Amino acid sequence: MPATNSMVLAIRSIAACFLLTGMACYIVPAPAHAADEAALWQSLRSGEAFAILRHELAPGTGDPDNFQIGDCSTQRNLNDTGKKRARATGDRFRANGIASAEVYSSQWCRCRETAQLLELGEVNDLPALNSFYENDQDAAPRTGQLQEWLSARDPGKPLVLVTHQVNIRALTGQPASSGQILVIRLPTDDRIEVLGKL
């Protein structure tokens, strides 16, 4: 496959970065084209697709040994940057014509707080969004529960789900960084179609 200008620029940028710093550098992908992004927001406004996002920045990995649902003092929680970014994400929804939505969240505090800070509507618990990071055996049944729940929905009011990296990867086959939004067509069967990322 012939190299495109963007590929050549990326290779040169990585090489230059290596020469200047002595270490490999990663190029952040360019944001979606404005027209593509507008189409994604339109699909969310119409209810034909839904937004699923990973909780915002919460330092650490996994959960403490004394983790308890409902007790945020036993959990990893959003830091100040995560809280600020969650509010900014809510502003982004409003700037794109979504002032309110049906909002569902994992019962983990970092997800619930992310969902609350969006200020798009009442936050409802949805156990099918709960993490299975340390319980791989729960991945298939929990993902199946979520797919079944989604398949039973009709297009309507915008829908926003807040969950964890492992849940998003199991559902879509794609990773998500903290606070990243994936736009997914509301399924009419078990097939999940990711329209794009915001």
**Which residues have CB under 8 Å from 20's CB, separation 6+?**
none
- pLDDT, residue 82, reads 97
d(CA 66, CA 80): 23
Q: Determine if the pTM surpasses 0.75.
A: yes
pLDDT in tens, 16-27: 333 333 433 333
Q: What is the pLDDT of residue 187?
A: 75
Mapped onto helix, strand or coil, the DSSP state of residue 105 is: strand
Q: Can you list the residues of the chain whose pLDDT is less than 70?
A: 1-35, 188-190
pLDDT computed for residue 135 by the predictor: 78
Q: Distances from the Cα of 30 to the Cαs of 34, 50, 77, 198, in angstroms?
A: 11, 23, 29, 11
> Which part of the chain is CATH 3.40.50.1240?
31-197
CATH assignment, 31-197 = 3.40.50.1240
With the CA atoms of 99, 104, 106 and 108 taken in that order, what torsion angle do they form, in degrees rounded to the nearest 10? Answer: 50
